[in-house]
Amino acid sequence: MSGLHIQRVRKSFDGQPVLRDVDLAVPSGTIVALLGPSGCGKTTVLRLIAGFDRIDDGEIAIGPGVVAARHLHVPPERRRVGYVPQEGALFPHLTVAGNVGYGLPRRERGGTRVAEVLALAGLDAFGARFPHELSGGQQQRAALARALAPRPTLLLLDEPFNALDLDLRRRLCEEVVGILRREGATAVLVTHDPVEAFAAADLVAVMHDGRIIQIDRPDVVYRQPANATVARLTGQAVVIGGTFQRGQVLTPLGLLTLHPAYARDTGQASVVLRPEQIVAAPADGGTPARVIGHSFRGGYAVLTVTVDGHAIRLRAPAPAAPVPGTDIHLRVDGACVAFPAGE
């Protein structure tokens, strides 16, 4: 059995709890994205796995071996874990090839592994350069190559694309995921960007306030969030009030179908919709609404509409988006998600 197993890990800094009972299992060969807002403890989880900090309680196992427990701390150099930090953190006094070869045993440093990993990272021509002679994207690729070179059992990436501009960030992310797949790596990627998490990972673990509150396939996390917080952290969400009615939910937008897992017989509900679920409908088949605001966003427009006195923000295709003052009709596509109000 390989992979990563984290059980009930706790960590406080100066008496301030940062992680409260974190559980996480990463099967061998999968990529897990750790998604959460800044300050939720994602980076702390990575640092504990790498062994840079000690855990207070719980257990971390990499492959078959326990590396951290209450009175056990295997030092980072004996964990065989690769780490790609936010800023790359390349050794400034070594060339790119020197950086990549750093983690290899002495006899392998002159061998083919360095060239092989450099080629994998698309840095064939840059081995002799120093880190400060590279662009931001190249530095991150070099950091990845350095981490991959000693064939770690587990790779940790701490928001590795954060410092790059959006376009480069998406491209590099795709590229890095390609590299990880080719190497068959087990990896944990920390990010606060849901799009990045969905694109890169087999599993998304949503973290909030020192806990992992849901871990599942990207589409499940997005379509069936465990609670309203997960819904907000994984993308745009429209939250409206309603009442449960025997497996369905009554809202200003009509009687909506629920995912079976969320069905209840009675009670106040807080209904979570994705903006793309609310679409225009013909006059006879939808709920009447009036457009009161219109904000252009490029490919689409964000409309503010009132339905029965409630204001709702939704998306509409840009060229045909109605102007304020127009009366339209709306319906909801697909099953939706609802939680008992006040939860």
Partner 1 sequence: MRASEAGPAGIHDELFRPRTLSLLLNTLILAISVAAATSVIGTAVAWCIERCDCPGRRVWRVLASLPLAVPAFVASFAWSSIAAVFQSMAGAILILTLSTYPLVYLPVAAALRGMDPGFEDVSRSLGHGPWRTFFSAVLPQALPALGGGALLVLSHMLAEFGALSLLRVQTFTTAIFASYQLRFDNVSAALQASVLLVLCLLAAYAELHLRGDTRFARVGRGSARRITLARLGRATPFVLAGQFVLAVLALGVPFTTLAYWLWAGRSIGRGAAELWPAIEGSLSLSVSGAIVTTVLAVPLVILAARYRGLLANFADRLPYVVHGLPGLIIALALVFISIRYVPLLYQTPVVLIAAYAVLALPLAQTALRASFDLVPVRIEEMSRSLGRNPLQTFLSVTLPNITPGIGAALALLVLELMRELTATLMLAPTGMVTLATEVWSHTNNAEYAAAAPFAALLVAVSVVPVYVFTRRTLAIYDF
Number of residues that bind partner 1 (CB under 8 A): 24
Pick one of 27, 122, 150, 235: the residue that binds partner 1 (CB under 8 A).
150
Of 229, 165, 226, 218, give the one whose Cα is nearest residue 195: 218
Q: Confirm if 252 and 240 have CB atoms less than 8 A apart.
A: yes
Q: State which amino acid sits at residue 232.
A: R
Strands of the 72-73 sheet, one edge to the other: 16-26, 4-13, 57-62, 65-69, 72-73
Closest CB 31 distance from partner 1, rounded Å: 19
Q: Confirm if 212 and 202 have CB atoms less than 8 A apart.
A: no
Binding window for partner 1 (CB under 8 A); candidates: 76-84, 170-178, 194-202, 284-292: 76-84
Residue 161 binds partner 1 (CB under 8 A) = no
Closest CB 42 distance from partner 1, rounded Å: 17
Which residues lie closer than 8 Å to 246 by C-beta, 6 or more apart?
Answer: 265
Which residues lie closer than 8 Å to 93 by C-beta, 6 or more apart?
Answer: none
Binding window for partner 1 (CB under 8 A); candidates: 57-65, 144-152, 263-271, 310-318: 144-152
> Binding string, 175-214, against partner 1, x = CB under 8 A?
----------------------------------------
Residue 103 binds partner 1 (CB under 8 A) = yes
Residue among 78 and 297 whose Cβ is closer to partner 1: 78
Conformation bin of residue 184: beta by default, left when phi > 0, alpha when psi is -120 to 50: left
Closest CB 34 distance from partner 1, rounded Å: 18
Pick one of 91, 293, 311, 340: the residue that binds partner 1 (CB under 8 A).
91
Residue 13 binds partner 1 (CB under 8 A) = no
Q: Confirm if 327 and 255 have CB atoms less than 8 A apart.
A: no
Residue 87 binds partner 1 (CB under 8 A) = yes
Residue 77 binds partner 1 (CB under 8 A) = yes
List helix spans (H) across the chain. Answer: 42-50, 96-101, 113-120, 136-148, 166-183, 194-200, 218-223, 228-233
Residue 79 binds partner 1 (CB under 8 A) = yes
Of 227, 202, 229, give the one whose Cα is nearest residue 217: 202
Q: How far apart are the C-alpha atoms of 67 and 61, rounded to whole Å? A: 5
Residue among 90 and 269 whose Cβ is closer to partner 1: 90
Residue 90 binds partner 1 (CB under 8 A) = yes
Instruction: Give the chain's count of helices (H) and strands (E).
Output: 8, 21
Q: Kindly identify the residues of this chain, within the stretch 15-54, that bind partner 1 according to CB under 8 A.
A: 50-52
Residue 89 binds partner 1 (CB under 8 A) = yes
Closest CB 153 distance from partner 1, rounded Å: 12
Q: How far apart are the C-alpha atoms of 295 and 96, rounded to whole Å? A: 47
Please give the structure tokens belonging to residue 297. Answer: 């966003």
Which residues lie closer than 8 Å to 220 by C-beta, 6 or more apart?
Answer: none
Closest CB 125 distance from partner 1, rounded Å: 23
Closest CB 45 distance from partner 1, rounded Å: 15
Residue among 91 and 296 whose Cβ is closer to partner 1: 91
Binding window for partner 1 (CB under 8 A); candidates: 22-30, 74-82, 207-215, 226-234: 74-82
Pick one of 15, 16, 93, 343: the residue that binds partner 1 (CB under 8 A).
93
Of 75, 74, 65, 56, give the one whose Cα is nearest residue 18: 56
Residue 160 binds partner 1 (CB under 8 A) = no
Residue 164 binds partner 1 (CB under 8 A) = no
Q: By the criterion CB under 8 A, which residues form the site for partner 1? A: 50-52, 75-83, 85, 87, 89-93, 102-103, 146-147, 150
